[in-house]
Structure 1
């Protein structure tokens, strides 16, 4: 059984989409959802879908390696960041090389880096008058949004689009492509 673990910080709509996608697939499951916020709605989504959850704090993530040890004990084939906002520490990246992926709501390298997430990205796209935007799925390294790109998808930003409308277009791309790309990455790993 291939094992996916999701890290999320907020609502968890992408996490729910991924869990539902793999619920219908043999040989793959999402075993855990981890979050750095005890009030994150992703916890409710995961519980409703029967997926185990774990909440952790900065100390467990950055200082005492509690999260690293927990992840090792779960033996994930892939760790998926779905709206997870903290920078992944080097020890975690080194423990799971090419097995941590993230989705970013823009066409990296544009609008990447610390502090560029969610509505902030869409507002910047609109403010700059960009004619298109999209999503980037990439491997995680020790710098925000700088890991090797796995996949990008684009959508137009039409005159008159506000940040909310751009967000809707980008979310549609996320829901359509993220689970499929996760599945492809697992297949490329070639592990039983």
Structure 2
């Protein structure tokens, strides 16, 4: 059994989807969720599912000790980012080499890098006239969105699609593929 921690900064829909997917798994367990924001919806979502969530400050995250201690307390083997809005600290990268993954709402390397998250990505896809978008699941390294790509899935983008339309299509891909890719990685 592998224990994964989910890091999230927002509403928590992907975190909830992952937790539900692994509820009866014999391979993966999600014992906790960590966040850098006390006021976001992920806490309520996961707490309703019986999963504790913890908040850490920017300083605690950069320094790393408090976060690493919490991960050790729950015997975490692997970290999954699900809408997490901080760059991963060197302390975490060193403690979890090739054991931290992220999902990006576009087909990297296009529309990646600092500031490219959420609706900013979908707006860029529409503004560039892209005919497809999708998701990229990748390992984390010291640079934004530059880790080795694990998996990509695509969806069409019509000339009449708004950024909100693209977001809906991309979210469907996230929910369908992220838990399955996690499971394959940890089998």
TM-score (norm 1): 0.95
SS of residue paired to 1:18: helix
Q: CA deviation at 1:71?
A: 1.6
Q: CA deviation at 1:31?
A: 0.4
Per-residue CA distance 1:80-136 (angstroms, 9 max, x = gap): 000001000111111111110000000001111111000000000001100000000
5+ residue gaps, structure 1: 188-192
Per-residue CA distance 1:59-91 (angstroms, 9 max, x = gap): 110135211222233221210000001000111
Mapped to 2, the partners of 1:135 and 1:5 lie a distance apart of 21
Mapped to 1, the partners of 2:58 and 2:171 lie a distance apart of 28
Match of 2:168 in 1: 168
Per-residue CA distance 1:14-69 (angstroms, 9 max, x = gap): 00000000003224210001110000100000100000110111011013521122
Mapped to 2, the partners of 1:97 and 1:63 lie a distance apart of 17
Mapped to 1, the partners of 2:69 and 2:49 lie a distance apart of 25
Mapped contact 1:77–1:186 kept (Cα < 8 A): no
Match of 1:32 in 2: 32
Match of 1:186 in 2: 186
Stretch deviating more after TM superposition (13-22 or 61-70)? 61-70
Mapped to 2, the partners of 1:146 and 1:71 lie a distance apart of 24
Mapped to 1, the partners of 2:64 and 2:45 lie a distance apart of 28
Structure 1 ranges of 4+ moved more than 4 A? none
SS of residue paired to 1:72: helix
Mapped contact 2:64–2:92 kept (Cα < 8 A): no
Mapped contact 2:63–2:91 kept (Cα < 8 A): no
5+ residue gaps, structure 2: none
Match of 2:147 in 1: 147
Mapped to 2, the partners of 1:142 and 1:42 lie a distance apart of 25
Mapped to 2, the partners of 1:68 and 1:144 lie a distance apart of 21
Matched, 1:110 2:105: no
Listed as ranges, the matches of 1:1-192 within 5 Å are 1-63=1-63, 65-187=65-187
